[in-house]
Structure 1
Amino acid sequence: MGKKSMLHPLTVRYSVFMLGLAVMGYGIGMMIEANLGVAPWDTLHIGLQKTFGLTIGIWSQIVGVIIILSSYIIGKIRPNVGMFLNMFFFGLFIDLFMWLKWIPTGGTMIERVFLFVAGLLIYTFGTGMYISPRVGAGPRDSFMLALNERMGWGIGKVRIGIECTVTLLGFLFGGPVSAGTLVTALTIGPLIKQFIPMWERMMAKPYGKVPKEQFID
């Protein structure tokens, strides 16, 4: 007879969810330090930080609150615990890792490219971790779903529209837009899709996996 896990399934799911947010925050920090471009939302956060001060993580939290409210107004998507945890801790982890200086820096172009690629892989690996327990979609995913419901557009078109708009806003505020931004936009979805099945297998019973729900398209 197999040994029964001493941990409650919900405890395991929330632990993996939180660890995934931490891994994502570290990956984003590496991409920021590489200075070769970041994901569209992080371009906006960095642009707001350069224009108005505060930290990148705090702007991630502020934008997250605005998005949660917008998702409810547009698509009547009610926020859940996972959404608020995502909004608060993701920004906190970014600031914490950068403040502790636990993130390596690159001097030469080769080192910066390596740092960027490693950061992108770590970020998408962490995204698979946070999604697999199905605790709840993050604020930005919920906003995408809200626009999909309200406008009737396909998820793919909505996602491209949001990311193009966010990138433009970030650029206008002084955020970094370069080759890495394009690489991130083109590869982030496919990479996350590779990591989600691996984490879903690990989150299978008795760890409380729920029916599969596709967040990334």
Structure 2
Amino acid sequence: MEKRSSLTWKTMVLAALAGAGIGIGVGLILTAGMGSDTVTVFQDGLHQQLRISYGQASRLYNLILILTAFIAARKYFGAGTVISALITGFAIDGTVALTGRFIVGFNLPGSILVFLAGQTLYAFSLAMLIRCKLGMNGLDSLIYALQEKSGISYRRLRWGVDFLLTWMGWLLGGIFGIGTLISILTTGPLIDRFQQQRRVT
């Protein structure tokens, strides 16, 4: 992995924007009503079981992952991990509150477009956080650490993790739909594709 960027205002702003983008993407996916992305299916399960908001479920999920990544994947952990996690949950709740009533009235083609926009923004923002080299999100930190030890590609590991999170989320009561299947198939490849673009300097 490339040398981690120094903690500058530029990288902190980019990490914050990535966290906001992740949250807005998830919010759009939720309000599209076609099934959540894989991580959000699990967070939705927490939301249902614990009777807390989506944003609160996201913050709980991120707290657990941050602690795990700090212990097991410290090489990929950094300020960006924390910055993005703090912002994501609030961005989810804000997006759902601002767009929920408007988007819920969309017809099927409109809902599909909203979902695709959310999924693309979600994957792009995850890739942007990685490219900042200021610390990945908790899940990607663990995946990259596992990739380093196992030699299995990021894309395959991401597919496996996405399937596991979806299954666990479904058992907890999270909403599963066609959008979830699309997310399982596209999140890893999209992040991989965006990762190949010019890295943040």
Which bracket does the TM-score occupy, shorter chain normalised? 0.7 to 0.9
Identical positions, percent: 26
Q: 2:168 matched to 1:169? A: yes
Name the SS of the counterpart of 1:132 in structure 2: helix
Q: 1:189 to 1:163 in 2, by over 3 A?
A: closer
Identify the residue that residue 30 of structure 1 maps to in structure 2. 28
- Which structure has the larger Rg? 1
State TM-score, norm by structure 2: 0.82
Cα distance in 1 for partners of 2:87, 2:47 equals 18
After superposition, the CA RMSD in angstroms is 2.5
> Which one of 68, 87, 94 corresponds to residue 92 of structure 2?
94
Which residue identity does 1:25 align to in structure 2? G
Q: Is the CA contact (8 Å cut-off) linking 2:28 and 2:95 kept in structure 1?
A: no
Structure 1 position 109, deviation (Å): 1.4
State TM-score, norm by structure 1: 0.77
Name the SS of the counterpart of 2:132 in structure 1: coil
Mark the runs of 5 or more structure 1 residues left unpaired by the alignment: 1-7, 204-208, 210-217
Q: 1:9 to 1:46 in 2, by over 3 A?
A: closer
Identify the residue that residue 77 of structure 1 maps to in structure 2. 74
Q: Is the CA contact (8 Å cut-off) linking 2:73 and 2:141 kept in structure 1?
A: no
Q: 1:191 to 1:13 in 2, by over 3 A?
A: same
Cα distance in 2 for partners of 1:199, 1:9 equals 20
Mark the runs of 5 or more structure 2 residues left unpaired by the alignment: 1-5
Q: Is the CA contact (8 Å cut-off) linking 2:27 and 2:95 kept in structure 1?
A: yes
Which residue identity does 2:23 align to in structure 1? G
Q: Deviations over 1:168-211 (max 9, x none)?
A: 110011111121111111112222233334452xx3xxxxx2xx
Which residue identity does 1:189 align to in structure 2? G
Structure 1 position 30, deviation (Å): 0.7
Number of residue pairs aligned between Structure 1 and Structure 2? 192
Q: How does 1:82-161 map to 2 (within 5 A)?
A: 82-99=80-97, 101-102=98-99, 104-106=102-104, 107-148=106-147, 152=150, 154-156=152-154, 157-161=156-160
Cα distance in 1 for partners of 2:7, 2:68 equals 32
Cα distance in 1 for partners of 2:96, 2:73 equals 35
Q: How does 1:205-216 map to 2 (within 5 A)?
A: 209=201
Tell me which protein shows more helix as a share of its residues: 2
Q: 1:194 to 1:153 in 2, by over 3 A?
A: closer
Identify the residue that residue 18 of structure 2 maps to in structure 1. 20
Cα distance in 1 for partners of 2:12, 2:134 equals 7
Q: 2:43 matched to 1:45? A: yes
Which residue identity does 2:120 align to in structure 1? L
Q: Is the CA contact (8 Å cut-off) linking 1:51 and 1:173 kept in structure 2?
A: yes
